[in-house]
Amino acid sequence: MKIGVLGTGMVGSAIAGKLKQLGHDVRLGSRHPASDKAGVPVVSHEAAAQHGDWIVLCLPGESVLETLDGLEIGNKILVDISNFDSAIKEPLQEPLAQLIQRAYPDARVVKTLNSISAHLMVDPQSLGAPHSVFVAGNDTGAKDEVTELLKSFGWSDIIDLGDLSATRAMENLAAVWVSLEAVLDVGPNFTLAVVRGDKMAD
């Protein structure tokens, strides 16, 4: 599959490297194209978006809409991993994923992986304990396809939270993650798990 990954930071590099490892045809999009990173060609955002049947957003939330402006989006699957940096300190007014969907109504936006360390995004089993990943999107078919990609990354506990209205909670989880990192003595080597109990009687 052809995939354009926008953003060459820790998250973008991890995602692009994993996709290449899995055999996908990947381009990393950057404001500063270079030869390659993580073994993946680094091209302009425009070239990466044009290349991909899917586009994966690994950018600071504040720059996402500006970066997408003028790119070839159409009805492609748009995987949103980004968060607003400002949401760490201020209440979230509107989820980024919904802003993206409103700006690009034909795109098939799916939110996932936004409250997980970059190394665990692409190698969840390395933590040595079960943990959960969430997905949300208005397009059920797109969510199913993204879920299959997550399984290929090694994820097993994938929880579908419904449509993009659920992304407010998902994006607020990023603030929880930052708070936890500040007090846990494990660096970014942690994540969240949903532990199920027996169903309660009515």
Residue 197 domain-assigned (yes or no): no
Q: Residue 40 is part of which domain span?
A: 2-183
Considering only the C-alpha atoms of the chain, give the largest distance between any 2 of them, rounded to a whole number of Å: 61
Residue 199 domain-assigned (yes or no): no
Residue 190 domain-assigned (yes or no): no
pLDDT value of residue 90: 59
Residue 157 domain-assigned (yes or no): yes
pLDDT value of residue 92: 58
Residue 201 domain-assigned (yes or no): no
Task: Tell me what the mean pLDDT of segment 95-114 comes to.
Answer: 96
**Residue 133, H or E segment:** strand 132-137
Q: Look at residue 191 and give its three-state secondary structure.
A: coil
Predicted confidence (pLDDT) per residue in 159-184, tens digit? 999 999 999 999 888 888 888 888 99
pLDDT value of residue 27: 97
Task: Tell me what the mean pLDDT of segment 73-87 comes to.
Answer: 89
Residue 146 pLDDT greater than 90, yes or no: yes
pLDDT value of residue 201: 65
Contact call for residues 170 and 111 (beta carbons, < 8 A): yes
Which segments of 90-196 does DSSP mark as H helices, in order? 96-103, 118-122, 140-153, 167-183
Residue 91 pLDDT greater than 60, yes or no: no
pTM to 2 decimal places: 0.93
Say which CATH number the domain at 106 has. 3.40.50.720
Residue 28 domain-assigned (yes or no): yes
Q: Which tokens go with 135? A: 């997905």
> In the chain, pLDDT over 90 holds for what percent of residues?
71
In the chain, the number of structural domains is 1
Contact call for residues 12 and 58 (beta carbons, < 8 A): yes
Residue 147 domain-assigned (yes or no): yes
DSSP string, 67-111: HHTTS--TT-EEEE----GGGGTS--SS-HHHHHHHH-TTSEEEE
Predicted confidence (pLDDT) per residue in 17-53, tens digit? 999 999 999 999 999 988 788 789 999 999 999 999 9
